Structure 1
């Protein structure tokens, strides 16, 4: 009566994957930094924290019924310390997030740290099956989720070059030939070098599955007018 069975625990974790995945998939196909894995990890982590809380409550009730003389002791909040861990781990996760003008990295790592904290709480409180089930699911999310769900791959490319018109056309011709879609771009005059204007363009690209950002950089670097090119990492 006062305990979640194994099927209920696994079922709730699977449902959390479904709900978190639906939201994360919608965010990822629109190119947002916090995408599929991040949302699923957060949802699963929250579920694990809730399962631990619920199991602790059931354990308290059971002990109170078996030993009424311990009722005064059991009035203390068993989840007080875990609650502090939940708050504190957020600062650790925030330390893995790097924000620049053009990108945000480390969100999945931050989410995995937060979710892993829930596993530690579950183990510490003796709820081994909750911890085991959660750890397997988190590993599957991190290792296999992108293989199961293929979403559009967005990459950000920063290119510096001379000869604005000729180079711009050459880059666009390359994109067209390889079916690379320009989702967004920022364009400005970065500086002057040897009395020549250096143009800086930030491309947000939708890349076909057969191509890689590294290959695109190598191909475009063959253009003589390009003086600098690099990818800006996504989450």
Structure 2
């Protein structure tokens, strides 16, 4: 009976803490919202309850690791997180939601293990990270813009590294890159660059064009 009441407390806490994180995602209209986060947290909690209770009931009779099933949750939640990641043109969305699902699964495991205070504290920090740190990210990147370029280059080792060095000198970040073979010796590199506002597209094109082996640089 004691295990039953403990399970009720754990499931209730999983709903509350998973719901807090899910509410934040739902509020921002993300693919995985309130219900998804609650279900993930409850499921992870149940798995850990099964592991802990099985080990307790069969203590001394069967050698078992109460962390084994929990480890499978940590690795297995990736397929659900991958479903929330969406590529729209050059942009990739859903990474934060995928991370929040993985973290909520960890919360469920902590609750199922009886680490209530740790789970509550972790939820607090997760919520702060989702709500407050977004503003800091926006402030960091507000003075930057994005543009897409295509670079036709000789397909030789080290060429992408040389491009990265030139862009680094200009404080330009590569946020996405795709490489396509044109023929045996030529490759087309499509890059999405995030650059300071004082760096024009012409400067980017000029600096990359100076690299030996670059045939053409153009905006997409």
Shorter-chain TM-score: what band?
0.3 to 0.5
TM-score, scaled relative to structure 1? 0.37
